[in-house]
Structures are given as C-alpha cells and as structure tokens.
Homo-oligomer: A and B are copies of this chain.
Amino acid sequence: MSEWHLARGYRFAGIVSGLRTEPDRRDLAVIVSDSPAAAAGVFTQNRVCAAPVQVSRERLPRPDARAIVICSGNANACTGEQGLADARRMTELVAAELGCPPEQVLVASTGVIGRPLPMPVLEAGVPKATREVAPGRDAFSNAAHAILTTDTGIKIATRRHAGFTVTGFAKGAAMIGPNMATMLGFVLTDAAVAPTDLQRILKIAAEQSFNSISVEGHTSTNDTVFLLANGSGPPLAGAELDAFAHEVRHVCIELARKIIIDAEGAEHLVTIDVEGCRTDAEAKQIAKTIAESALVKTAVFGADPNWGRVVSAAGYSGVAFEEKDLSLWMGDMLLYRSGAPLPFDAAAASAYLKHNREVHFKLKFTLGSGRSTFYTSDLTTEYVRLNADYTT
C-alpha cells in the first residue's frame, strides 16, 4: 500500500463477531469520533432500500455524530419491520456504551439480502467492538477488513492539505451499478466543516466517483457513503473549503476506481470518456450504457476489438445523435470517424486490450461541451462463476 494518512480524532475496531460462517473472518466494525462530528451521507436510489439505509438517512445531515456501526455478511435488506427494529437496535447498543443518544450513531450493512439479522450475535458483538475501539493504523485496518464481502482486499484513499487530512475506505466488488454500487464508503476528516457544506460536497464527489462506476449495473439495496468531519483540525471556509471539496472528490474517485479494479472476476479497468455532448447528463447516459453492455464487456475480456459493440451501445442509450456526429478511439487508435469506419490493425488493437490492465475508450461527439468519465470492468467467465454460487 502506498503512503496513507489517518484523520485525527477517530478510533476504530473490526472484530470477529460470528455473523459470517468463516471462522476468523472480521465482520463487525465500529468507528467512534472523539468529539461530535458533522456528518453527511449519500445512499442508494433503489426503491427497495435496506433497513440501515432508512435508519441512517433519517438521521443525516447532522452536526453531532459520534459513531458508525457496520456489519458484513448480512445486508439487513428486504427484512420488513423486524429489519428496521434490528438496525435501530444496533445503534442503541453502541450508544449505550458511549453514553449518547442512539440518533448520534449511524449504521450500514452489506451481504446477503432477505435474511433476518442474527440479533443474539450482534447483542454480544456490538458492545464488544465498541469497547475495543482504538486509534492508529492497526485498529483502522481491522475496521477496513471487517466491512469486506467478496472484495479481495481493503480499499483506502487518503489526502492531506493545509493542515487537514481526509481518510476514506470502502468496500464493493459486485452489485455495482451507479446510484450507487453495493458499496459502502467511509470518508473521515479532522477538518471542521458545517453539515450543510459537507452534504453538498459529498453529493458532488459521489456523482463523479461512486455514481460513475458499474460492474453489472445492478443498483444495490445497501449503498451508503458517510462523510464525517470532527473538527480536530482547522475550520475551513472560502478557498480552503473549495480545496477540501477537491480533496474529498479525489479520495472518492480513487476509492471508486479501486472498487472497479477489484470487481469480481475482473481482468480490466475500462475507462469510458464521452465528450462533445449537449450536456454532462447526456454524456453520462451514453458512457453508462456502454459501461453496462455485456457485449462490450465480454469483448474487452476476450481482447476482441469489436468496436461496433461500443458504437451500437451508444446508439441505444436513449440520447439523440446522428452517426456522423460520432468518432471513436480505443487507446490512441481512431477506429470510427464522423460515422464511417477506418481501416485499422486488428492485431495491434487486440494486443492493446490483451496487454493492458487499464484500457480506454473515447467517444467524441460534435454536439456541445458536455462530458463524462465512467469506469467499468470486463465481464469474465470468473464473474459468472462467482455469482452463480453466492448464497448456497
């Protein structure tokens, strides 16, 4: 792992509670802020959203968050009224240890949908994890591990600027559809920032990061990103606040890219740049449609420079354009110019896909200045194998 920095004033725990069937697998994390922290959140746009999403959403934004509790292995989604009661109970167990109201505690979950939480496990585990929180890298690493499901490793991104630190960690490897992925993200800072500023900054950052990635376009029930600012560092305003927003955006984009790099079975990180559209939203709609095309994704897996699949995906995106408006590059190779195919070296194009872990498509339209950058993975036989046998 490259150098990284921990925001001041936070303590962490990640324990083996017994939620998961694998012994020694950390599955329960608690984050405590030493002082009440301004807190913002963004959540899944799925109509079917998990109990912890409903509970946390109604508590945010707020100026005085004290803790976050997260369990992995069970999503607590599609679990009815019992699920809501269980999610609230998780926050009460933390609050009792900290001596604060439950409303100051946030909650997130990830894992299988449709199973009631095993509450006896959590009645014992949550207080234990809360009592064990500690500052420093080991405790942080334990928490980052405890939120993982099919991820192959922890995902961390940090930035430092002008006396403050932004520390983010996330999980996610499938059920990744924009708005957002089956992903959880936690971004912590020691800067002092007002809750409404935090919420605005997080929304913009999420739009360009966690909402601009896709593994298979399946929007999860549990997506959650929290941004906490506990004011251990300097208060921010004006240009410094803009700088803070910039750093948060970078941390979110880095985490989002790490999710795609670790996508289930993936062998490629595919970046799709769309420019020259009427609006950014239209550019994103085209990029997202290409990113979610199984035929584009299998072609990248097979190193097959079948660029017609990219152009035809743009064509069914719902955005109006004429073929003559469009040119397409794969890496540096111009394959399609103003609606007509160009001769190209198929062997070189295939080699580009075969020998690069990160590959790049650019679509340039002549309709305006709207643009979008979107990230996706390839679709591999391993992805299908992994997802054909998940719950059973």
Contact = CB atoms under 8 A, between A and B. Distances in A.
A304 interface: yes
Given A113-B312, A115-B341, A391 B306 contact: yes
Interface of A: 45-49, 75, 77-82, 112-116, 174-175, 177, 179, 216-221, 292-295, 298-299, 301-309, 311-317, 319-323, 335-336, 339-341, 346, 350, 379-381, 383-385, 387-392
A299 B387 contact: yes
A302 B218 CA distance: 18
A218 B293 contact: yes
A307 B218 CA distance: 14
Q: Is the interface of A mostly helix, strand, loop or mixed?
A: loop
A359 to B, nearest CB: 14
A316 B177 contact: yes
27 contacts: A46-B312, A46-B315, A47-B316, A48-B316, A77-B308, A78-B312, A78-B323, A78-B340, A80-B341, A113-B308, A113-B311, A116-B341, A216-B293, A218-B316, A219-B316, A220-B312, A294-B379, A298-B383, A298-B384, A298-B388, A299-B388, A301-B384, A302-B389, A304-B390, A346-B391, A379-B384, A381-B381
Nearest to A300: B388
Contacts of A335: 114
Given A221-B315, A294-B387, A379-B384, A392 B304 contact: yes
Contacts of A381: 381, 384-385
Given A294-B217, A295-B387, A312 B48 contact: yes
A390 B299 contact: yes
Contacts of A174: 295
B388 A48 contact: no
Nearest to A387: B298
Interface centre among A115, A116, A217, A220 (most CB of B within 10 A): A217
